[in-house]
Amino acid sequence: MRKLLTTTAIAAVALMALSGCSTRTDSSGGGDASAAAGFAADSLIGVALPSKTSENWVLAGGLFEDGLKEAGFKGDVQYAGASTTVKDQQDQISAMVTKGAKVIIIGAADGGQLGTQVKAAHDAGAIVIAYDRLILNTADLDYYVAYDNFNVGELQGQALLDGLAAKKPAGPYNIELFSGSSDDANSAVFFNGAMSVLQPKIDDGTLVVGSGQTDIKQTATAGWKAENAQSRMDALLTSTYGDKTVDGVLSPNDTLARAVITSVKAAGKDIPVVTGQDSEAESVKSIMAGEQYSTINKDTRVLVAQAIDMVKVLQKGDTPEVNDTKSYDNGKKVVPAFLLPPVIVTKDNAGEAYANDPKLSPLTK
């Protein structure tokens, strides 16, 4: 298990991200960007984001608007609608191509359904950067910028084990597993990372998945929607935990974590150890109140800054630095990636983890 980062380390990573420096020894350049010769300093830069399903997507849009303007670019930041998300995003990307965007940054609504639009962008001379979520099955994707999502899963799995051990000294522990939406490529990465930690403990009997639902198809939460997670947890409590206690729940993000806790409370049961991700304000409050056990800090400010920094480098006709050229095979190519390190947060280190976050630091007092 990789060591957890201190606040000092987070700050150092942020500085490296903003300067375009690599955090790993593999710092090969990447991408076959067709616009590698550079482009005008006031060019149009498109940003296509999914629907506003979490605080971080809302925050990212504002940061992109402000950051691109400050850098001298014309920003076109669009969100997909909640009802026809994929179609909205396909149309928005196509419009950005028509408008002559030199770089299009995409937080995919569905990473498996954007290949046609990415190819059209590439054919028009635009550089395409996948933001946070990998775009699948296209050779026309140039770069990927994200937090190390497999490590996110590893940290979540280890947090679940740590929380269970703190709650009672020895197993077996009854747990349930939740994963994200099946149309999000990150869901499987998070889940696989967590299971790399949890599966050995399931195999040796330390962890018992009461429902027996361990396949990602069984654990998926459509649309990352809280109501879907709550409904599934309600059903699990009824079918499996009538006279038993659920000790822990692997939740892939904070929204779903709070939904699980709501379900357990409504059933009149003790709150289990529940993991999360995204450092949403309501979940930070829950952690400080001793309910949700953990979240993952993936500072959106740093991730957006890194994406904009890549645009600045491309504008000059240079090749952005990447630190992973092996891990992210999208089905057509291994996409050059710049990965930032995630940080696990519990009540014990929340004050340190959010010390420099003006929105979250007051919640940890």
- The CATH number given to whatever domain includes residue 166 is 3.40.50.2300
pLDDT at 48: 97
Specify whether 158 is located in the same domain as 287.
Answer: yes
325 occurs within a structural domain: yes
Task: State which amino acid sits at residue 44.
Answer: L
Report how far residue 107's alpha carbon sits from residue 91's, in angstroms, rounded to the nearest whole number.
Answer: 14
Specify whether 305 is located in the same domain as 292.
Answer: no
For 298, phi then psi, to 5°, come to: -125, 90
Least confident of 11-20, 166-175, 182-191, 326-335: 11-20
Of all residues in the chain, what percent are helix, strand and coil, respectively (each to 5)? 45, 15, 40
Given strand 103-106, what is the order of strands in its sheet? Answer: 74-79, 44-49, 103-106, 127-131, 143-147, 337-340
- Cβ atoms of 107 and 83 closer than 8 Å: no
The number of distinct structural domains making up the chain is 2
Tell me the residue range of the domain where 179 lies.
150-297
Specify whether 15 is located in the same domain as 129.
Answer: yes
36 occurs within a structural domain: yes
- Taking CA 280 as the corner, what is the angle to CA 274 and CA 283, rounded to the nearest 5 degrees? 40
Picking from 233, 235, 243, 176, the residue whose alpha carbon sits closest to that of residue 209 is 176
Question: Model pTM greater than 0.75?
Answer: yes
83 occurs within a structural domain: yes
Specify whether 137 is located in the same domain as 162.
Answer: no
362 occurs within a structural domain: no
Specify whether 238 is located in the same domain as 325.
Answer: no
Specify whether 188 is located in the same domain as 255.
Answer: yes
Listing DSSP states for 39-51 in one string gives: --TT-EEEEEE--
The answer, yes or no, to whether residue 11 has pLDDT greater than 90, is no
- Cβ atoms of 113 and 119 closer than 8 Å: no
pLDDT at 52: 85
Query: Please, which pLDDT band fits residue 36 given cuts at 50, 70 and 90?
Result: low
The answer, yes or no, to whether residue 307 has pLDDT greater than 90, is yes
351 occurs within a structural domain: no
Specify whether 219 is located in the same domain as 278.
Answer: yes
Count of CB atoms within 10 A of residue 324's CB? 22
Specify whether 185 is located in the same domain as 284.
Answer: yes
21 occurs within a structural domain: yes
205 occurs within a structural domain: yes
pLDDT at 83: 66
Report how far residue 156's alpha carbon sits from residue 162's, in angstroms, rounded to the nearest whole number.
Answer: 10
Specify whether 100 is located in the same domain as 137.
Answer: yes
Specify whether 166 is located in the same domain as 281.
Answer: yes
354 occurs within a structural domain: no
- Cβ atoms of 173 and 248 closer than 8 Å: yes
The answer, yes or no, to whether residue 20 has pLDDT greater than 50, is no
> 228: part of which helix (H) or strand (E)?
helix 226-240
Dihedral in degrees, nearest 10, Cα atoms 97, 328, 134, 331: 70
Pick the last residue of a domain from 271, 297, 323.
Answer: 297
Specify whether 293 is located in the same domain as 303.
Answer: no
Cβ neighbours of residue 74 closer than 8 Å, sequence gap 6 or more = 42, 43, 44, 45, 68
Percent of the chain predicted with pLDDT > 70:
90
Specify whether 43 is located in the same domain as 154.
Answer: no
> 192: part of which helix (H) or strand (E)?
helix 185-203
Report how far residue 272's alpha carbon sits from residue 231's, in angstroms, rounded to the nearest whole number.
Answer: 17
